[in-house]
Amino acid sequence: MLSKEEAKRKIEELRKLIRHHDYLYYVLNKPEISDAEYDKLMLELKELEEKYPEFITPDSPTQRVGGFPAEEFKTVTHTKPMLSLDSAFTEEDIRRFDERVKRELGVESVEYVVEPKLDGLSVELVYENGVFVRGSTRGDGINGEDVTENLKTIRAVPLRLREGRGVPSLLAVRGEVIMHIDDFEELNKQLIERGEEPLANPRNAAAGSLRRLDPRETAERPLDIFFYEILNIEGVEVDTQWDALNLLREWGLKVNRLIEKCSSIDDAIKYHGRMAEKREKLSYEIDGVVIKVDRLEYHEKLGIKARSPRWA
């Protein structure tokens, strides 16, 4: 029989171990243990927490599926506006964007970060001192729906950040909740077998699954998430979008492996061409490519127009 102090220590060890394996699996895609071994660790933690409920904390891996069905979602205000992007349809449009950026900044060259534009539901997640405290849908860009309990059910969402280059006192990060094509097709197959209406496409499936009023229903849906932008941060200095993405990875937040840094607009255009060729082979749907100015000080100088940034 464990003493209380030993039980507390064991619980903390198990949580740390489970978070480590979550990071290996979801962020690095390099699992070191089997699903059965992982389940065994989770079971051991659950049993200990049942015996010692006073040691249960909101960021424990066992607390992903909890809460009661809501009558409606509360509205929350984002830490910073979640902007929409202007579209560029041709190479000429992209080159015009590059020329405008260089002209307004008064520089001869600009580095860019380029990424697939994921076709899912945009969300903001807020971490305070490394602990996930709130998550919301994009909504109108200023206010969104509080879907904290539903986001907790997504295994790729860390409930506590890893210790990277120091954990920020505040981190608000933007991500995209998606459903992979194979998972979407399997879900539709199950819905049809139950005599229910199939879902229209993976984007609608992801949005509808995240916005279930009962988090337990969301937990049954195969959702994934990628993080791609720091909206707000306190306690850690970040100079570039590329550095921001590397920090997110260090903190255990899943970042798309296809994101690249480009030294010129020519490289960004080549990336766009490669993505167009890869598009049909990806496991998820994309809606084009996003091209962002890398230096964050340039973002400040370029500013925003209406509700879209002038730096992407």
Q: How far apart are CA 156 and CA 229, in angstroms?
A: 16
DSSP state of 72: S
DSSP state of 146: B
Q: Measured on CA atoms in the order 246, 248, 254, 259, is the torsion positive or negative?
A: negative
Which one, of 125, 152, 150, 146, lies nearest residue 59 by Cα? 152
Q: Which of 8, 10, 46, 117 is catalytic?
A: 117
Residue 66 in tokens: 């909890």
Tokens 């995240």 -> residue = 210
| Element housing 21 (H / E) | helix 4-22
CA dihedral 48, 53, 58, 64 (to 10 degrees): 50
Q: How far apart are CA 72 and CA 75, in angstroms?
A: 9
Active site residue 301: no
State the catalytic residues: 117
